[in-house]
Structure 1
Amino acid sequence: MPLILFAAACGSDDSASTGASGGPGASGSGVKVTGNVGGKPTVTFPSGTPATKSSYEVIQPGAGNGIKSGDRVIVNLTVYNWDGKGNAVQGSSYDTKRPETIAVNEQIPQVLQEGFTKVKHGGRLLAVLASDSAPQQQATAPAEPTKVFVFDVVGTAPAPLKAAAGKETGESIKGVKVESPGGEKPPTLSTKTKDKPSDKLVVKTLIQGTGPKVQPGQTLTVNYTGKIWGTDKQFDSSWERGQPAEFPLGNVIQGWQQGLAGVPVGSRVVMSIPPALGYGDQAQQGIPAKSTLVFVVDVLAAY
């Protein structure tokens, strides 16, 4: 589970108290952070009761580009439960070796919205998220322990393209039709055919992008529509949701991992994915077992 989900559980509340940025202890929490940016930090907690007010403190300001509201910040983060007992570490992206991306917007607690704008690339931010940053809980719900985050800012994710852009190739997969209306309008995919699908992965480039090629360890931003071969039954579409999908390429089915690696950003591809590289014998919601999956995908960003 992404570590930032620990923060999401704290919700967003404009009344959360934000501490001053500045020298050590400026947040008033008494939490101390040592160690160099770029490595897992060491955090020491004051004795006594955990903080009940949310706050932040700039540990290292950083010397790179600044961060503004609306940016998607790539960070290494380490999170602790400040319960006044063990104060146990809950996880660190330095252990998983997978930095995470956080959108600096109203979906994250106010203390983080403000704190991130006070550090630059290469900087380190301490954030204490206490119960005052949580949405009003039901009286019967147990209170969440105060969370302490240390964020090391790696950089800012590139702004994704709006749609595939480049030269149309004229390529296609026999039995599959894709119509591209141009501009930012989504393509239409048809998979109703009597042709037998290949038992191997088939990937065709419909629009050749000019961006860098996707690498296996990257996080992608894409728009896509997925249908089942032969029936034209649609089971998913980010275009219809009105929001591109963002995910580490290593976290999706093998057909996507193999099919999108090496594709230039800005491209539109159509993929026929055999069951062995999809969901195999396991039925999924809207997808029968042993289905050949067909996707049309716009690769909008990779980092």
Structure 2
Amino acid sequence: MRRALAVLAAVPLILFAAACGSENGATTAAAPSGGSSGVKVAGNVGAKPTVTFPSGKPATTSSYEVIQPGGGTGVKTGDRVIVNLTVYNWDGQGNAVQGSSYDTKAPETIAVNEQLPQVLQEGFTKIKHGGRLLAVLANDTVPAEQQATTPAEPTKVFVFDVVGTQPPPLKVATGKATDESIEGVKVDNPGGEKAPTLTTKTDEKAPKDLVVKTVIQGTGKKTEADQTLIVHYTGKIWGTDKQFDSSWERGQPAEFPLAQVIQGWQKGLAGVPIGSRVVLSIPPDLGYGSQEQQGIPANSTLVFVVDVLGAY
């Protein structure tokens, strides 16, 4: 699960939905402004750019160009870069701007990883903080098997100004343990980077309302409802101790837009300080309700222990 860029709903259709690192996506080497794509970028880094498009049909091959290399710390794979971005629909007609964080005054954070198109994975690693990257994303970023079933998107043109880098997420909850608990639920904290043990086998009646208790009190910034969270978690069903999911067992934290998960998580994890470990009891109406999910019976009360490791 990944956060859609807030500048424009169409952005993640190119950046994320079709961004599985297709081998069909072509990447050109870094070139000066107005290089292989013919797109020209004017203006200083730190201000909304002016973009000029060539006449004729839009490019059908994805590419990137380093407009300004920047003089700060280099960007590397795995970084979460903070950027100001401006995006255009290159349709060969109006080539209209679709949005800019310079207008919203809200820079975005992008994880430089395999979920980005290959052209962006490579392009970002060619610039440093204070740099400017031009990226043309055409439909060759869509895997061949999806091109037959996915309507073609207009070629997108992005101008990214790298502002900085988010600090890496924590590996485990850090802070002071509390005495808080949910009656009928037990959380054992083994210490170090080991996963906590969640026990939900109980004769206690499940709470009718959402219950959130802090097991370890983190000291980081509080999460916000519109952020993407990085968490470790285990989920079980109240009363049965049946586990249905665990990121700890997969060995990889989960990363998701908080606004796109079940309401119990939206309500329970917003405002939690980074570094905290919390336990949540989520009633059916804030979980999956009367709909049976894989491994989760209908009308189940869900219990999660969650380490909030990062947010952006």
Residue in 1 aligned with 2:310? 301
- Cα distance in 2 between the residues matched to 1:93 and 1:238: 33
Q: 1:138 to 1:290 in 2, by over 3 A?
A: closer
The question of 1:236 aligning with 2:245 is answered yes
How many residue pairs get aligned? The number is: 301
Residue in 2 aligned with 1:202? 211
- Cα distance in 2 between the residues matched to 1:248 and 1:55: 28
Superposition RMSD in Å: 3.5
Does structure 1 retain, via aligned residues, the 8 Å contact 2:223–2:272? yes
Q: 1:260 to 1:53 in 2, by over 3 A?
A: closer
Residue type of the alignment partner of 2:67: I
Q: How does 1:236-275 map to 2 (within 5 A)?
A: 236-275=245-284
Does structure 2 retain, via aligned residues, the 8 Å contact 1:219–1:248? yes
Q: How does 1:32-181 map to 2 (within 5 A)?
A: 32-33=40-41, 43-62=51-70, 65-80=73-88, 82=90, 84=92, 87=95, 101-130=109-138, 146-181=155-190
TM-score by length of 1: 0.80
Does structure 1 retain, via aligned residues, the 8 Å contact 2:284–2:302? yes
* Cα deviation code 1:134-168 (max 9, x no counterpart): 65559967895644333343432221111112332
- Cα distance in 1 between the residues matched to 2:146 and 2:226: 41
- Cα distance in 2 between the residues matched to 1:286 and 1:258: 23
TM-score by length of 2: 0.78
Does structure 2 retain, via aligned residues, the 8 Å contact 1:19–1:28? no
SS at match of 1:290: coil
SS at match of 1:301: strand
Residue type of the alignment partner of 1:176: V
Q: 1:7 to 1:277 in 2, by over 3 A?
A: closer
Alignment equivalent of 2:196, drawn from 183, 187, 193:
187
The question of 1:278 aligning with 2:287 is answered yes
Alignment equivalent of 1:18, drawn from 5, 21, 28:
28
Residue 204 of structure 1 deviates from its aligned partner by 1.6
Residue 235 of structure 1 deviates from its aligned partner by 2.4
Residue 296 of structure 1 deviates from its aligned partner by 0.1
Residue type of the alignment partner of 2:236: K
Residue type of the alignment partner of 1:16: A
- Cα distance in 1 between the residues matched to 2:140 and 2:266: 41
Does structure 2 retain, via aligned residues, the 8 Å contact 1:12–1:106? no
Residue 210 of structure 1 deviates from its aligned partner by 2.7
SS at match of 2:215: strand
SS at match of 1:127: strand
- Cα distance in 2 between the residues matched to 1:7 and 1:262: 28
Q: 1:41 to 1:205 in 2, by over 3 A?
A: same
Q: Which runs of 5+ in 2 are unaligned?
A: 5-10
* Cα deviation code 1:191-212 (max 9, x no counterpart): 1211012222222221222323
Residue 127 of structure 1 deviates from its aligned partner by 1.0
Residue 175 of structure 1 deviates from its aligned partner by 0.7
Residue 174 of structure 1 deviates from its aligned partner by 1.0
* Cα deviation code 1:19-73 (max 9, x no counterpart): 3343x21x32111345776777664421224335432123354565431222122
The question of 1:213 aligning with 2:222 is answered yes
Q: Which runs of 5+ in 1 are unaligned?
A: none
Residue type of the alignment partner of 1:300: L
Q: 1:98 to 1:291 in 2, by over 3 A?
A: farther
- Cα distance in 2 between the residues matched to 1:152 and 1:31: 16
Does structure 2 retain, via aligned residues, the 8 Å contact 1:12–1:108? no
Residue in 1 aligned with 2:7? none
SS at match of 2:184: coil
Does structure 1 retain, via aligned residues, the 8 Å contact 2:244–2:296? yes
